[in-house]
Copies of this chain bind each other. A is one copy, B any other.
């Protein structure tokens, strides 16, 4: 944890309490691998880069009141998800994460027990993703709890999956299912409004809620899509499928046509959206937080899809449409074309 606090604009400064928190966090980290020459506790971490590989770097923050609600997610869920969304970005480049830095902004009165629960989630996802918490920073927050994570990883030079590699005629594929995380969040919001317990009895909805709380990054599939040079472009679905289709098409200079009937909408989410008066196709296309991967498959590499399917270990890879020469972004439903839903406002 480098220079964890500094001069405070009110005149108060670095602290015993803070040193205690840092040494407590360090005591909870598993032994650092030999590749980490200097771990948490100095000005910076120092690590051996992967030989012959390129560095992959990404950062994403989870902000209380924006990305999570402490009534709906435990701090362990928040820590888990903060790591998951970052290693998902590395996987979406065809890379493998190796180190993360954890920047915690803690509201006054945060207890060591709360930090411990947050760390439980961080360390659980770190174990799953095989990443080392190499360092970070803690500071006071005047308001929200913020967990900002930077992940670094590596990728072989010719295995990088960019957004701009798609070509007209490439098939569009998505991993797993969509709509689950946003249905889960809507369910939580509704249950809270009605004063119900925040754990669904319905198994399908419970899975949706779990996807909102603890998304499963497609680490293995991402690495294989790059390794086998299956995909020509790839990105993760942090902001929803419609957004991902738009970004890949724009970066690649193509249009896109999505087949509504082919969309792998989560069954419980479909039922929930219908019952609450939403169009399930529109809701699933625009709902974020699923962390599936969208990728493009050129005809000439179609045979290599099998290696990705083997790596997917039962996670479906679904053909949902094509990149097109025409610049339009359309959803085809019952033979009719309609425009792809647009992005959604965050600010």
Contact = CB atoms under 8 A, between A and B. Distances in A.
A67 B10 CA distance: 9
A140 to B, nearest CB: 5
A259 interface: no
Interface in A6-50: 6-9, 11-19, 21, 37-38, 41-49
Interface residues of A, number: 103
B66 A57 contact: no
Contact of A236 (B3, B11, B92): B3
Interface stretch (A202-210, A286-294, A299-307, A322-330): A286-294
Given A11-B189, A67-B139, A89-B44, A57 B134 contact: yes
A195 interface: no
A54 interface: yes
Interface stretch (A102-110, A118-126, A262-270, A308-316): A102-110
A346 B44 contact: no
Contacts of A15: 343-347
A296 interface: no
A254 interface: no
A146 interface: yes
Given A67-B7, A160-B46, A59 B137 contact: yes
Contacts of A332: none
Given A47-B55, A89-B3, A105 B11 contact: no
Contact of A9 (B14, B56, B68, B106): B68
A93 B13 CA distance: 23
A64 B148 CA distance: 16
A156 B47 CA distance: 11
A148 B151 CA distance: 14
A171 interface: no
Q: How many copies does the complex hold?
A: 2
A117 to B, nearest CB: 18
Contact of A54 (B3, B48, B185, B289): B48
Contacts of A44: 56-58, 89-90, 92-93, 95, 151, 153
15 contacts: A2-B60, A3-B89, A7-B287, A7-B288, A8-B67, A16-B342, A16-B345, A38-B162, A42-B163, A45-B57, A45-B58, A46-B55, A59-B101, A61-B103, A64-B142
Interface of A: 2-9, 11-19, 21, 37-38, 41-49, 53-61, 63-69, 72, 85, 89-90, 92-93, 95, 99, 101, 103, 105-106, 108, 134-137, 139-144, 146, 148, 150-153, 155, 157, 160, 162-163, 181-182, 185-186, 189, 212, 234-236, 238-240, 243, 251, 286-289, 342-347
